[in-house]
Amino acid sequence: MDAVMDLRRHWNSIYTSRAPDGVSWYRPHLDRSLELIDTTHLPHDAAILDVGCGASTLAGDLLERGYTDVTVLDVSEEALRVARARLGTRAEYVRWIRADVTDAELPPRSVRLWHDRAVFHFLLDADTRTRYVAAVKKSVAPGGCVLIATFGPNGPETCSGLPVRRYDADALTAELGTDFVRIADSTEMHTTPTGSPQEFVYGLFRRT
């Protein structure tokens, strides 16, 4: 619990001290995530969970695409406040959860698409990654999809003052295990607001 509180304080501080477009991972729209989500051909009533949503625009873009069952989860209430404020009156169409994903209470087999851009690479120890994967296995329905993006092998070794683990697509596949089949992967050279390049690797998986 102390670790969760430390994380909450850290990310609350980040989102309090920086504008939404001032964090290194900011993009006006998560274009690569949206492209990969489009390939899944999910029905518009499919349950989508955005893990570690931060202050991103993904929830709003999913609503624009006609998705009606969007949930966002973040450990930071400040990040959620910023995201809600951006959506304005549309925020009522999104379900908001403040929690650490590794111990969140998620309904079993309820999620059709699990999205995570830049959370998994912060999980340094094997036990925490095991709990993350257990949460995925519990909540993603058979046939559902998991989309995870992390820093790639040539990406930064730290982010927002925290160390990260870097992955290629094969390493992400190994972490999820045999319950998931990789159906697509992609590499993106993201440019930060200060102009620095960051390599991201995306893996899209389907639960067998």
Structure confidence at residue 12 (pLDDT) = 76
Structure confidence at residue 15 (pLDDT) = 80
Domain ranges of the chain: 2-207
> What is the model's pTM?
0.94
d(CA 110, CA 45) in angstroms, rounded, equals 12
Structure confidence at residue 2 (pLDDT) = 67
Per-residue pLDDT of the chain (208 residues; tens, 9 = 90+): 467 778 778 887 878 877 777 787 778 899 999 999 999 999 999 999 999 988 889 999 999 999 999 999 999 999 999 999 999 999 999 999 999 999 999 999 999 999 999 999 999 999 999 999 999 999 999 999 999 999 999 999 999 889 999 999 999 999 999 999 999 999 999 998 888 899 999 999 999 9
Token match 């089949």: residue?
Answer: 181
Structural domain 2-207, CATH architecture: 3-Layer(aba) Sandwich (3.40)
